[in-house]
Structure 1
Amino acid sequence: MTTRQAVVARGLIMRTAERLYATHGFAAVSIRQIGEAAGQRNKSAVQYHFSGRDDLIKAILAEHAEAIERHRLALTAPDGEPGDRIHRFVLPRIEHHIDLGTPSWYGRFLAQVTVEPALREYAVQAHLNTPSLRGLRLDHGAAATRHRDMTRQLIVHMSAELEMELAREQPPPEMAAAAWRRLGADLVTAIGALQRA
């Protein structure tokens, strides 16, 4: 297998795993099923590219975190005010969902990851361990940690809901983008209210 073939196969396995995990959950999908659905004739193709399920999941999370990070770094607004921090936390994720198009599976995949105790920390680290988020001045303490956890859950699960709705309705791209941006504005408002509470 050439390097290019390996890169293509790896990407295909990642997209297939994301879709299967998003639609069926982790317990219902085996590594072998992912390889077969990705059109890999070699039964150990997934293990060839990834050491196992957790390595595959980490790779998917890292790829999306990098894409979200590019959007966040493009925001030039200062982060001194709480509202600026909320925008910088929420809107890059929304723009990434728009980039993915419809149908997409990342929102539902991430929702599955965050409710799986053994995998949740992978998602948290993939998204919080980026330079732009480390640079945001976040409040500390038990209440601030709870607010961040609530914020994360709100973003993840509302994104998964909208992604599922768009996949079902298949609107034109401009209508899908408008729906994502409405969700982004609603999330900024809700998170701002949560932080003021």
Structure 2
Amino acid sequence: MWTVVADVGRTPRAEQVGATRQQILTTAERLFAEQGLYAVSNRQISAAAGQGNNTAVGYHFGAKADLIRAIMLRHTSRIESLRQDAVAAVAGSRDVRDWVACLVRPVTTYLASSGDPTWFARFSAQVMTDPAFRVIMAEEALTEASLRHVVDNLIALLPDMPADVREDRADMVRHLIVHVCAERERALAEGAATSRSTWDETANGLIDAITGLWTAPYTAEPGPPGP
């Protein structure tokens, strides 16, 4: 009897804490997306999230890096689930485009399903371009088993190329996905016209471009001069 009463007493507090954390995460993501990571202080986030205590962000999340990681984790589990479905649908494919689609469509599908406006794509672009925090994005990506599976299958199908060329193109692909999605998200938020009217069309354009990027010829480095 006493255990039941104690559990009931704790539940509202736990729900309040959970709601506060989610409000802080949503507010921080929006402010970071719109203003940049360093332009926004914990005090500003707390105030915008309706928290009377200016130290609420630090209390719930610790350092800014911890807050950024928590924002990433809010989204990556759902994207991972979508990518698992995409991988299952193309299992055994020998078409580069199929595996490129597994990189792109989970992201665009997630953004399309998240309502309007969204801030995650612009937030991701801010993280990717910040030397101090981009490692967080890389670390979270490496924990996604489906993403590693996609990359392994994609590399196995690519034309033979030097490792440094492959690494350069992988970096280009990451930037294309993040920044094209960020620009479309920004245009939607600002009510601006875009050449791609839906997230699905955005995905098609990205898949076309990235497939071409991965399969394009490369310029071989000249060898050492002869004697």
Question: Deviation at 1:121?
Answer: 1.2
Map of 2:199 onto structure 1:
180
Are 1:20 and 2:40 matched, yes or no?
no
Deviations 1:31-58 (A, max 9, x none): 1110110001122111111011110000
| Unmatched tracts of structure 2, length 5 or more | 1-11, 156-161, 217-227
Equivalent runs, 1:66-81 vs 2, <5 Å: 66-75=77-86, 76-78=89-91, 80-81=93-94
Work out which of the residue numbers 157, 179, 194 in structure 1 matches 2:179: 157
Say which of 37, 41, 58 aligns to 1:47. 58
Q: SS of 2:198's equivalent?
A: helix
Paired position in structure 2 for 1:37: 48
Per-residue CA deviations over 1:88-130 (Å, capped at 9, x if unaligned) read: 1110000011112211111111111111001111112212320
Matched, 1:115 2:137: no
2:207 equivalent to 1:194: no
Aligned twin of 2:170: 148
Pairs within 5 Å for 1:130-141 = 130-136=144-150, 137=152, 138-139=154-155, 141=163
The percent of aligned pairs where both chains have the same amino acid is 38
Alpha-carbon deviation of 1:178?
A: 5.4
Scaled by the length of structure 2, the TM-score of the pair is 0.80
> Cα gap change, 1:191/1:90 in structure 2, threshold over 3 Å: closer, same or farther?
same
The CA distance in 2 between the partners of 1:74 and 1:10, in whole Å, is: 30
Determine if the alignment matches structure 1 residue 64 to structure 2 residue 75.
Answer: yes
Aligned length: 193
Moved over 3 A (4+): none
Note the alpha carbon deviations across 1:142-191, whole angstroms, 9 max, x for none: 222111110010011110110011111189xxxxx951111100000000
Q: Tell me, yes or no, if the aligned pair for 1:103 and 1:170 is still in contact at 8 Å.
A: no
> d(CA) in 2 for partners of 1:155 and 1:24?
21
Alpha carbons 1:79, 1:85 under 8 Å: kept = no
RMSD: 2.0
Taking the TM superposition and a 5 Å limit, the aligned residue runs for 1:69-108 are 69-75=80-86, 76-78=89-91, 80-81=93-94, 82-108=96-122
Report which structure shows greater RCO (CA 8 Å, sep ≥6). Answer: 1
- Deviation for aligned residue 1:141: 2.0
TM-score (norm 1): 0.91
Larger Rg over CA atoms: 2
Structure with higher helix content: 1
* Contact 1:102–1:170 under 8 Å retained in 2: no
Between the aligned partners of 1:151 and 1:80, the Cα distance in structure 2 is 20
